[in-house]
Amino acid sequence: MIRTGKFLSARAVSTVTSAEPKQETRTLKFGELQVELTPDKAYIGAVIGLLFGTLSWGLSQGIESIPESSLQYANDNALLLAKSLRGALLALCYSSTLLSGFTSVGLLLLGVQLGSKEK
């Protein structure tokens, strides 16, 4: 990830100066990687979050649609383990759906806020 960030930050940047005062920019720092926040990046992140949430929701619905009566294992211990792992996987999928929804809403609000500051 850091290698990709270095590659993307190595591209040429325009050094044209203007008489207008510089606006304060927001940047996120992850180690050596720095990402400037723009409304477009926030909207793209929100769309990616919604896609991930949709995939997580679909996965959880697929897991939940498997009836427990169809689970056949060698003994009762294996059946209990499978049921508990199924529950843990459902909890993981539903929580990732919820978190990606919150993230998407937050990124949309951030994009609106950054867009209003630029105008």
| 117 in any annotated domain | yes
Burial label, 88 (beta-carbon count in 10 A; 0-12, 13-18, 19+) = exposed
pLDDT digits (tens, 9 = 90+) for 38-79: 899 999 999 999 999 999 999 999 999 988 777 777 788 888
Name the β-bridge partners of 36.
Answer: 27
How many of the other CB atoms lie within 10 Å of CB of 28?
10
Print the domain residue range for 63.
Answer: 38-119
Question: pTM score, two decimals?
Answer: 0.69
| 15 in any annotated domain | no
**Could you tell me the pLDDT band of residue 37, with boundaries at 50, 70 and 90?**
confident
| 49 in any annotated domain | yes
Tokens 């997580």 -> residue: 56
Look at the chain and report how many structural domains it folds into: 1
Written as six digits, the tokens of 54 are: 């949709």
| 1 in any annotated domain | no
| 7 in any annotated domain | no
| 71 in any annotated domain | yes
Spatial distance between the Cα atoms of 67 and 57, rounded to a whole number of angstroms: 18
Spatial distance between the Cα atoms of 19 and 7, rounded to a whole number of angstroms: 31
